[in-house]
Amino acid sequence: MIQDRFGRTHNYLRISLTDNCNMRCFYCMPEEDYDFTPVSKLMQAHEIEALAKIFVEEGVDKIRLTGGEPLVRKDAANILLALSKLPVKLTLTTNGTRLHEFVPVLREAGVRSLNISLDTLQADKFQVMTRRNLFDKIYNNIHLLIDHGFHVKVNMVVMKGLNDNEIPDFIAWTKHTPVHVRFIEFMPFSGNRWTSNKVVSLEEILAAIAIKYDYIRLQDAENDTAKGFTVPGHAGTFAIISTMTSPFCSGCNRMRLTADGKMKNCLFSRTETDLLSAFRRGDDVRPLIHQSIQDKAKELGGQFTTDFEHLHAETIDNRSMITIGG
Ligand code: SAM
Ligand code: SF4
């Protein structure tokens, strides 16, 4: 069992397969020119499998693949199938652009639920936010996966003045479609142009919904980072991930492995532990995993508090989101 000083048991590992991506979401990538990590520096498929196995032996029972965009990695299907042999709930977070190629593999790997990111329902705004003309592909793939019986959660990062006016449109989408929309408060990462006045808080999101809809609170699953709701009569649900105004750190069970094999004990951790180099040297990585979790801060990586109005993103010591794996 992997436990920290605050009694939190860590049974959920998020593995980034790559920092490469076929989109350019401005809130995720650093502003300056960014070179993707060369493939040779990334964890190889057999290394991902071996490290994941060690985590499972230490108590992990849920693994999420993320990135960058996990499905741009050429051996993504093989990695999915290899990890599906482990006794874990396997899932992934994807931008959805390649999902139509992966339906049989996802089935074979036993994936039942996945998170797909879509921040706007307007194709022209999508192009501005991602610098790619891929709205229709993603929207169609979301429906394709739902039609194939997958549980689809849609991640929507809410930003003031940009897409917050679309909150009711996303709720309208849940009326006849069994889609589970998750509104995410905008978070600060290295070089992502975050400012506190762009955050749309949990309260503000609920207020925007209440203008048009009555909603009810749903019972959250243990360790859930999202507060769930539904509008009675709607086929889908919605939830809010309120990392900035009401974080979920007290129930945190997450650990992260970056694509270059560094373990992060928190999304906002300042430090990281180089598991891949140790593994390549033939060292036992178990003590490193436990030490990393022992060193975990109580909340938000020890870097800020919910008093985020006075926060300056450049004072946070972290990677960019695309290199962490959200
Ligand atoms: N490429 C995949 C995707 O877009 O779903 C997986 C990686 S992406 C980094 C994972 C999630 O992080 C996405 O849902 C994305 O919207 C979210 N994300 C990225 N930057 C964020 C930020 N600054 N604040 C909140 N969420 C963010
Ligand atoms: Fe790529 Fe996902 Fe980041 Fe967008 S949010 S740039 S799709 S990794």
Output the tens digit of pLDDT for each of the chain's 326 residues.
999 999 999 999 999 999 999 999 988 887 666 778 888 889 999 999 999 999 999 999 999 999 999 999 999 999 999 999 999 999 999 999 999 999 999 999 999 999 999 999 999 999 999 999 999 999 999 999 999 999 999 999 999 999 999 999 999 999 999 999 999 999 887 777 788 889 999 999 999 999 999 999 999 877 788 999 999 999 999 999 998 888 888 889 999 999 999 999 998 888 899 999 999 999 999 999 999 999 998 877 767 666 777 777 777 666 677 777 76
Q: Give the Å distance between the CA of 152 and the centre of ligand 2.
A: 17
* pLDDT per residue as tens digits for the range 132-191: 999 999 999 999 999 999 999 999 999 999 999 999 999 999 999 999 999 999 988 777
pLDDT of residue 10: 96
Specify the pLDDT at position 292. 95
Q: Which ligand is nearest to the CA of 142?
A: 1
Question: Looking at residue 73, what is its pLDDT?
Answer: 95
Instruction: Give the position, in ligand 2's atom list, of the atom nearest the Cα of 94.
Output: 2
Which residues make beta-bridge pairs with 90? 63
Q: At what angle do helices 286-294 and 45-57 cross, to 10 degrees?
A: 70
Cβ of 117 below 6 Å from ligand 1:
yes
User: Ligand 2 center to residue 203 CA distance, Å?
Assistant: 26
C-alpha 101/C-alpha 42 separation (Å) is 23
In the sheet that holds 273-274, the strands lie side by side as: 216-217, 227-230, 237-241, 180-185, 151-158, 113-117, 89-94, 62-66, 12-16, 254-257, 262-264, 273-274
Instruction: Give the residue whose CA is nearest to atom 1 of ligand 1.
Output: 69
Identity (one letter) of the amino acid at 178? P
Ligand number, closest to the Cα atom of 187:
1
What's the CATH class of domain 12-324?
alpha beta
Q: Which of 250, 261, 229 is nearest to 306 (CA)?
A: 250
> Measured between alpha carbons, how far is 64 from 206 in angstroms, rounded to an integer?
28
Report the residue among 130, 132, 137, 194 best suited for mutation to probe ligand 2: largest number of ligand atoms under 8 A from its CB. 130
Distance between Cα 24 and ligand 2 center (Å): 6
For ligand 1, whether the C-beta of 28 sits within 6 Å is yes
Instruction: State if residue 66 touches ligand 1 by the CB under 6 angstroms criterion.
Output: yes
CA of 81 to the centre of ligand 1 (A): 24
Measured from the CA of 97, which atom of ligand 2 is nearest? 7
Structure-token pair, residue 129: 């936010």
CA of 35 relative to ligand 2 center, distance in Å = 15
Q: Name the closest-CA residue to atom 7, ligand 1.
A: 67
Q: Determine the pLDDT at residue 31.
A: 66
C-alpha angle 301-306-309 in degrees, rounded to nearest 5 = 115
Determine whether the shortest distance from the Cβ of 157 to ligand 1 is under 6 A: yes
What integer pLDDT is reported at residue 32 of this predicted model?
A: 65
Ligand 1 pocket residue status of 240, Cβ below 6 Å:
no
Six-digit token string for 16: 């980034």
* Rounded Cα gap, residues 11 and 86, in angstroms: 14
Predicted confidence at residue 112, as pLDDT, reads 96
- pLDDT at res. 42: 94
**Is the distance from CB of 206 to CB of 171 less than 8 angstroms?**
no
Task: Tell me if 186 CB under 6 Å of ligand 1.
Answer: yes
pLDDT score, position 54: 98
Tokens 């508090």 sit at which residue?
305
d(CA 277, CA 266): 20
Q: What is the pLDDT of residue 304?
A: 65
Residue nearest to atom 12 of ligand 1 (CA): 326
Give the pLDDT confidence score for residue 256 in this predicted structure: 96
Q: Which residues pair with 232 in a beta bridge?
A: none
